[in-house]
Structures are given as structure tokens and as C-alpha cells.
Amino acid sequence: MLQQFLAFVKKEMLHILRDTRTLFILFGMPIAQITLFGFALSNEVKNSGVAILDPARDDDSRALIDRIDASKYFDVVSYLHTPQEIDRAFKSGKVKMALIFPQRFSNDLHHTNKATVQMIADASDPNVATTITQYASVIINDYQKELSPAQIPYRIKSEVRMLYNPQLKSAFNFVPGVMAMVLLLVCTMMTSISIVREKENGTMEVLLASPLPPILVIIAKAVPYLLLSMVNVATILLLSVYVLELPIAGSLALLVGESILFTITALSLGLLISTITNSQQIAMMISLVGMFLPTLMLSGFMFPIENMPIPLQVMSNIVPAKWFYLIVKDVMIKGLGISAIWKETLILVGMTLFLLTIALKKFKIRLS
């Protein structure tokens, strides 16, 4: 039995190794995705152009402008002289935000304790506009605090701390998402294709006519992809720790354990897909459209689930990647233990058992 099994696993390994193009994609994909999401597709808005209209030109306004310019989020690109120029500055496309100081900025600040700075942001991209006005507000608040350390009594100081991700790095969001995506792609798509390929080539018939128990065929098909997925998980974690400088806050063992669980979920999905089609192309289409898109859209990794219409929110619950994404975020970023994620884990286990049962029931141990 064991020997039969090993002979079959070896064959599966050879299939994967012989197909160099696919192998290249399998190993290259996590690296490419981490690099893309980590560096190119960033939520952070850096070096936004700022136009300044500063009729005051006093110490305080200059000090503030210097701080804005010194921050990595802003570059002061132009100094305006009249309010009419503001519109033109935005239309030139180089400016994302304009800062307008009043005539007597310092005077207002020190004598009336009340000064206003107007921020005008280009909201054609609302997310960017929100983000940069927040950045600017933080800089202005900091300056104000320095000016009046505990002078005014009864002032409520709001102190914002960005928990778990103090630098607001976007990689914190992407790494768990990429992990879910890569595992799903490798396991679901590759497993379904590899089983369907045997049906298409007619070798499945020969296997079914052999004394090899069908369950062994399935397990033997899953093993190499499980190993491959672990290599991918390791790659992603190494890249995120050493390249993106995103530490693993929680237990590594727990993280790996949960990854194995999700891999098995994905494998069961792949198996299920392979039972409903006989063509490699269809298996690939189902994996891509049926699994990959929902994962991308509904796992919460690209778009926050809370903001979705209720039907979509409900639908997101049946997407396994959503739960895995929550688990990875909790373990990797918040450093939480099993006590915090047992519910999500249980849901994944339940989904896996459900998928596996249907798949094994549908897997034909005979032809037609």
C-alpha cells in the first residue's frame, strides 16, 4: 500500500517538475505578487504636490510650510500669490492639495489662540484626498502641540495610535491577501487541472482499472501540491519579514498550521471542481472565475467587507479566503493566539469537511 502510494506521489512530483513553465509560474507568482503589492501597489500616498498661498509670511506659517515640505508625504511645488491661482494650480495636475494661510496667521494664533489654515484637496480620487488631508492635519496638530505645551487647561488632546501597524504600511494588508490568493491558485487550480488531465488523457481509466484505491490517487495528487504550497508560504513569509520588514507578531507554528488548514480547504475545492468537469480548460475557468475573483473581491483584502451591500456581505461568508485572511491578519499582525481565532478556524474546518465529503462522494470510482 505504502509502496503503491509512494510510486504515485513520485509520478506526481515528476509531472510537476517536468512542466517547467508551470513550475516557474508557481514559484515566481508569490514573489511577483509580494513585490507588486508591497512596493508598486501601495495605499500610502507619498510626495504629493502642494501649493501654498501664504500672504502672512510670518514665522509660524513658514515653520509649518517647512514641516510640510520636509515630510515624505508632501512636496511643496508652487507658491501662489492670489486665490485665483489656486484653480490653475490644480488644473496643472501637479498639485494634490493647496494650503491657504490667513493674512495674519501668527497674530491670530498668539493673540486670539485661534487661527485657521484652509486645506483644499483634489478629491477626484477621494481616497487620496482623505489620506493627504489627514497627513497634513497631523503635521499641523504636532506643530500646535509644540507651541503650547500644556498651556491651555481643559483641552482634550486626541492622541491617535495606529495599533498593530504604526507606520500604516499597506503591506500589512496585502501579505495575508497574497497568501490566500497564492494558496488558492496553486491548490485549487493545479489540483483540479492535474486530476482532469488524467481524465482527458485517458490515464484515469487505467488507474481505475488498477488495484490502486481511488482515495490513494486523490491523496497522492494532493501531497505534492501541499508541499509546494508550504514552499510558497515560506517564500511569502520570508519576503514579508526581510524585504517588506513586516514582522510576524504571533506564533509562527500557528500561522503555518492555519496555512496547512487553508491549503487543504483549497485542495478539496480543487477536487470538487475536478469531479464536475472533464476538460482542463473548464477546470481552469471555474478555478479562475469561480474561485479567484470572489477571493479577490470578497475576502476583504481588496475592498473592506463592511462597506459592501448586505447581499455581498452575506455572500462573503462562503468565501473560504475571507476566513483565512482574518486568521492571518490576527496571527501575523496582531499577534493573537488560537483563543482569538478559534471561530474562524472552526469555520474553515467545517468548510473543508463539507467540501471534501461532497468531492469524495462525487469522485467516481467507476467510469460513467
Partner 1 sequence: MQTDATIITAKELTKTFGDFTAVDAISFEVGKGEIFGFLGANGAGKTTAMRMLCGLILPTSGKATVAGFDVFRQSESIKQNIGYMSQKFSLYEDLTVKENMRLFGGIYGMSTKAIREKTTLILDELNLQKEQNTLVRSLPLGWKQKLAFSVAIFHNPPIVFLDEPTGGVDPVTRREFWEMIYRSAHNGTTIFVTTHYMDEAEYCNRVCIMVDGKIEALDTPSALRQQFSTDSMEGVFLQLARKATRSGD
How far is 294 from 288, CA to CA, in rounded Å?
9
Q: What is the DSSP letter of 102?
A: -
CB of 217 to partner 1, least distance (A): 10
Contact code string over 239-278 relative to partner 1, x by CB under 8 A = ----------------------------------------
Number of residues in contact with partner 1, rule: CB under 8 A?
A: 25
Nearer to partner 1, 339 or 368 (CB): 368
Contact code string over 9-48 relative to partner 1, x by CB under 8 A = -xx--xx--xx-----------------------------
How far is 104 from 81, CA to CA, in rounded Å?
15
Nearer to partner 1, 212 or 360 (CB): 212
Residue 64's alpha-carbon distances to 34, 99, 167, 342, in angstroms, are 37, 10, 22, 49
CB of 5 to partner 1, least distance (A): 9
Among 8, 73, 90, 301, binds partner 1 (CB under 8 A): 8
CB of 203 to partner 1, least distance (A): 6
Nearer to partner 1, 166 or 202 (CB): 202
Q: Are 67 and 139 in contact (CB under 8 A)?
A: yes
**Helix, strand, or coil (residue 124):** coil
To 5 degrees, how large is the angle CA 13–CA 296–CA 221?
Answer: 20
Structure-block grid coordinates of residue 160: 491617535
How far is 45 from 129, CA to CA, in rounded Å?
9
CB of 209 to partner 1, least distance (A): 4
To 5 degrees, how large is the angle CA 219–CA 221–CA 225?
Answer: 105
Contact code string over 146-185 relative to partner 1, x by CB under 8 A = ----------------------------------------
Nearer to partner 1, 223 or 241 (CB): 223
Nearer to partner 1, 150 or 367 (CB): 367
Structure-block grid coordinates of residue 261: 488548514
> Which residue stretches of 154-213 are H helix?
171-184, 190-201, 203-208
Nearer to partner 1, 198 or 330 (CB): 198
Nearer to partner 1, 58 or 200 (CB): 200
CB of 181 to partner 1, least distance (A): 27
**Helix, strand, or coil (residue 71):** coil
Q: Which residues touch 191 (CB under 8 Å, ≥6 apart)?
A: 221, 222, 225, 266, 267, 270, 271, 274
To 5 degrees, how large is the angle CA 258–CA 259–CA 260?
Answer: 90
Q: Which residues touch 4 (CB under 8 Å, ≥6 apart)?
A: 211, 212, 216
Among 6, 123, 276, 293, binds partner 1 (CB under 8 A): 6
Contact code string over 188-217 relative to partner 1, x by CB under 8 A = -------------xxx-xxxxxxxx-----
Nearer to partner 1, 116 or 203 (CB): 203
| E-strand stretches of the chain | 48-53, 74-80, 97-100, 118-121
CB of 330 to partner 1, least distance (A): 42
Q: Given the rule CB under 8 A, which residues bind partner 1?
A: 3-4, 6-8, 10-11, 14-15, 18-19, 201-203, 205-212, 366-368
